[in-house]
Chains A and B, each alone.
Chain A
């Protein structure tokens, strides 16, 4: 896979995740997030297993173990973010969640993998863009909610770095399928603890099923397969940099989509300025001119 192909793939994941908020918004307000996790990951696992059934015979014990760890990290991330979001203002929560752009290079530094000067400068510009665009309040950061969100951010960084290692040694399809199976099982256990009726406690409308299928297909099956593939051919920081452009994609989507489907939102100058800074930061991080200049 060439670098351009890889960047296209990463950008499409960002597009999927940015668009998924439209469908999550369409779910009933009392819809359990564990039910969401079980159903979307479960359907994604079934679709992927059916489409690539021939490859399943190559599953090894090591892949199962690695897939299990990835799903465990992802579940911890989800639970911490869920707690944090419930305690914080949305703008503050979204800003803290985006700090992965700093957490990934810091963690890698810890493991003696020094980020390039372009990566560091780009990350700082992206962070500035997030500060400008998210409109958070400094007072809103106190309390346990921030700690949960920072925990979520670190677990997200650990996930990115773990995928970076595993994807290079494993078949991206297989590890993704295993991860989906374990995440669906984890979601189901949590869902059962919350409401023992689980599947029987839901009211299945056509709209609910549509949204669940869409989310399963795009934000789980497609996005995670694409993530595993791209991480096979690139590094964790590049993945984080492109993922950090999500606010830019969200802004564009809100301008393009009809109001009924989550678009048509007010266009704020601060959001536009933040988006420009993030895009500029991503470009700086993706190039190497500062390294060349220093030589």
Chain B
């Protein structure tokens, strides 16, 4: 089943708004984040609808913020939710030539890896972004965003993807990106993704295990620079 781009955009936007606004009552950090099952949507939207899905997720989050948490930080929310869909779309086709599906153990593992990296990326964008914008470090933001993303994208996003790609519904995944501008060569593919994943894991360990923060450990900001470059290379 193939659906038009416009219809895809509005379906993702509607689902994002219904879920995003409904859960605004389950606040975790006042004005910043809440329990977010809506985080199950971006990886699925990215894999099935590509750029259109990513845009719908970003805009959906921005509009949902109007229901109570809209501020300058909503720009970060837009970027974070856009990337939560965009990155899985880019990474899937970097790692596989198949259309997105979970019919094999290998693909399930691939999906989980992509969700893990996506969750780390969004947590990094939002918590470090807030630190740069406001000068205050909130470890809970990193923690809640990470666990919201990884928990719901695997716990809920994975079964949703299974239903949507099953024989009965038969939605086909989005076509592969036209090009990976900086990853055409084998060397680029082999190095950029592992380096980026390594940097994300390093920051995750620093925040979650060692309980470090960018104020006391400025090297975390220094590590963020190549990480941002890596994200750019993977994204275009």
Alpha-carbon distance between A225 and B14 when the two chains are bound, in angstroms:
19
A217 CB, nearest partner CB in chain B, Å: 7
B136 CB, nearest partner CB in chain A, Å: 22
Q: Which of these, B19, B24, B104, B163, contacts A229 with CB under 8 Å?
A: B163
CB atoms of A261 and B26 under 8 A apart:
yes
Q: Which of B14, B18, B24, B163 neighbours the largest number of chain A CB atoms within 10 Å of its CB? A: B163
Q: What number of A residues sit within 8 Å (CB to CB) of B?
A: 31
Residue-wise, chain A 37-72 has the 8 Å CB interface mask toward B (1 for contact) of 000000000010011000000000000000000000
User: Is A137 an interface position by the 8 A CB rule?
Assistant: no
CB atoms of B37 and A229 under 8 A apart:
no
CB atoms of B159 and A210 under 8 A apart:
no
Alpha-carbon distance between A211 and B35 when the two chains are bound, in angstroms:
13
Known contacts A5-B162, A8-B158, A226-B163; A206 and B102 CB within 8 A of each other: no
User: Is A12 an interface position by the 8 A CB rule?
Assistant: yes
Taking CB as reference atom, which chain B residue is nearest A1? B166
Alpha-carbon distance between A12 and B153 when the two chains are bound, in angstroms:
12
Q: Which of A5, A211, A226, A258 neighbours the largest number of chain B CB atoms within 10 Å of its CB? A: A5
Alpha-carbon distance between A173 and B1 when the two chains are bound, in angstroms:
14
Alpha-carbon distance between A225 and B26 when the two chains are bound, in angstroms:
25
Known contacts A171-B168, A226-B163, A261-B35; A210 and B24 CB within 8 A of each other: yes
* Residues of B contacting A232 in the complex (Cβ-Cβ under 8 angstroms): 168
- Chain B residues numbered 24-47 whose CB sits less than 8 Å from any CB in chain A: 24-26, 28, 35, 37
* Residues of A contacting B11 in the complex (Cβ-Cβ under 8 angstroms): 51
CB atoms of B162 and A9 under 8 A apart:
yes
Q: Which of these, A1, A15, A214, contacts B155 with CB under 8 Å?
A: A15
- Chain A residues numbered 1-27 whose CB sits less than 8 Å from any CB in chain B: 1-2, 4-5, 8-9, 11-12, 15
User: Is B113 an interface position by the 8 A CB rule?
Assistant: no
* Residues of A contacting B155 in the complex (Cβ-Cβ under 8 angstroms): 12, 15
Known contacts A171-B168, A207-B25; A225 and B163 CB within 8 A of each other: yes
Q: Which of these, B156, B159, B168, contacts A173 with CB under 8 Å?
A: B168
Alpha-carbon distance between A11 and B160 when the two chains are bound, in angstroms:
12
Alpha-carbon distance between A214 and B11 when the two chains are bound, in angstroms:
17
User: Is B236 an interface position by the 8 A CB rule?
Assistant: no
